[in-house]
Amino acid sequence: MRADVECHSCGSRGMAIFYQVDNIPVHSCLLMPTREAALQYPKRDLCLGFCEVCGFIQNTVFDPSVHEYSSRYEETQAFSPRFTQFARDLVGRLIERYDLREKDILEIGCGKGEFLVLLCEMGQNRGIGIDPGYIAERTTSEAAPRIRFIRDFYSEKYAPLTADFVCCRHTLEHIQPTRAFVQMARDAIRNRPDTVVFFEVPDVARVLKEQAFWDLYYEHCSYFSMGSLARLFRSCGFEILDLTKDFSDQYLLIETRPGKGSAGRAFAGERDLDELARDVKRVEATLPSKLKAWQHEIQQRKTRGQRVVIWGSGSKAVAYLTTMGIGSEIDYVVDINPYKHGMYLAGTGHEIVPPKFLQEYRPDVVIIMNPVYCDEIRRDLEQMGVTADLIAV
């Protein structure tokens, strides 16, 4: 227990430290044009603390000043049919539920803008997207004239931007101080009680249960469960309209509007404090041996002369390799995103290659960094005539 650490979500003092990895790259999705740049990229430590009061988990030694979210930040998952279908289904559901037709949409942290474009295309809406990593040339849509993109971080100065629907996806987990950010979003709509606010973040409860160490990395400084996310939004003056999981239960989705935190119903899965505390203890006790088992497996395959590649070059791959200290045991990392080909993985310096590279390389084993993509990866490999053992993490 570290008594001096303050929880960035509820403000309580004292966090139970349960997981530490030193010297990992501060970014995992930034494009690295050379192996040297990738190897020399700045590194810091991850030291996760659990708040027993609200269930929030944070990197207790996080330094936001080291981050550079810019157009070199390549996070898009839009090249995956599975992910695109998930986004389309979600947009369709949100449009139906909140009648988002010819409305004003604001997206905080819109990345390359794909989700906002979908909302504006499918509902004939108007949009404003804010993200320092936005790249204008990537947006080709009939809805583009109705959307304004601002290359910047969201801050108080954007409070005058009004909207019927505010969304913020996979952004909050990159932010500390966490509560101040949610409160800022709430304060911006203080005179618009009908505004619906939607946030989406990874679910840490699953990460703890599966001991998925590849989901714990420096870019993510804040980790939420159903309960800790609900408690944070209620305490900032939101009424929760819905709280669900999606994308094979990997993501948490919270739909809210301004209102008393006590208003609205309680949701299934919210009372998770005891279970989180148990799972945090289990991670502390057993994750080190799980790590050793993975390391052993990969080293064994290398010793047997097998060619092992990783499929998926996002944050999970960076965390998987750097946490285990894997280097030459694996030669390549595959990705379907053409913007990443010929680039290198931060921290370990692995080269990122296109799928067709495997036709010539002939791997024995493909480690899939997210089981949700197993079917589409198996299909791609079959079409190329590549036979390899598939291992999903």
Least distance from C-beta 135 to Zn ion, angstroms? 36
**Does 10 sit near Zn ion (CB under 5 A)?**
yes
Parallel, antiparallel or unpaired: strands 57-59 and 222-223: antiparallel
**What is the C-alpha separation between 316 and 322, in angstroms, rounded?**
10
Bridge partner list, 73 = 30
Residues 336-365 that bind Zn ion (CB under 5 A): none
**Does 229 sit near Zn ion (CB under 5 A)?**
no
Least distance from C-beta 228 to Zn ion, angstroms? 7
Residue 196 structure tokens: 């619906």
Least distance from C-beta 12 to Zn ion, angstroms? 5
Q: Give the dihedral of Cα atoms 251, 288, 62, 320; nearest 10 deg.
A: -60
Least distance from C-beta 9 to Zn ion, angstroms? 5
Least distance from C-beta 21 to Zn ion, angstroms? 22
Identity of the residue, 10 or 184, whose beta carbon is nearer to Zn ion in the bound complex: 10
Q: Kindly state the number of chain residues that form the binding site for Zn ion, as judged by CB under 5 A.
A: 8
**Does 15 sit near Zn ion (CB under 5 A)?**
no
**Does 53 sit near Zn ion (CB under 5 A)?**
yes
181-185 contacts at long range (C-beta below 8 A, 24 or more positions apart): 182/232, 182/233, 182/236, 183/236, 183/237, 184/154, 184/155, 184/156, 184/159, 185/108
**What is the C-alpha separation between 89 and 166, in angstroms, rounded?**
18
**What is the C-alpha separation between 117 and 115, in angstroms, rounded?**
5
Tell me which stretch binds Zn ion (CB under 5 A): 3-11, 13-21, 234-242, 357-365. Answer: 3-11
Least distance from C-beta 51 to Zn ion, angstroms? 3
Identity of the residue, 12 or 306, whose beta carbon is nearer to Zn ion in the bound complex: 12
Least distance from C-beta 54 to Zn ion, angstroms? 3
**Does 150 sit near Zn ion (CB under 5 A)?**
no
Is the link from the previous residue into 160 a cis peptide, with omega within 30 of 0?
A: no
**What is the C-alpha separation between 33 and 56, in angstroms, rounded?**
36
**What is the C-alpha separation between 277 and 156, in angstroms, rounded?**
35
Least distance from C-beta 10 to Zn ion, angstroms? 3
Residue 38 structure tokens: 């990738």
Residue 345 structure tokens: 């993985």
**Does 16 sit near Zn ion (CB under 5 A)?**
no
**Does 184 sit near Zn ion (CB under 5 A)?**
no
Identity of the residue, 56 or 199, whose beta carbon is nearer to Zn ion in the bound complex: 56
**Does 57 sit near Zn ion (CB under 5 A)?**
no
Other Cβ atoms within 10 Å of 193 Cβ, number: 10
Bridge partner list, 337 = none
Tell me which stretch binds Zn ion (CB under 5 A): 12-20, 257-265, 331-339, 376-384. Answer: 12-20
Residues 32-51 that bind Zn ion (CB under 5 A): 51
Chosen residue from 24, 26, 54, 212 binding Zn ion by CB under 5 A: 54
Residues that bind Zn ion (CB under 5 A): 7, 9-10, 12, 51, 53-54, 56
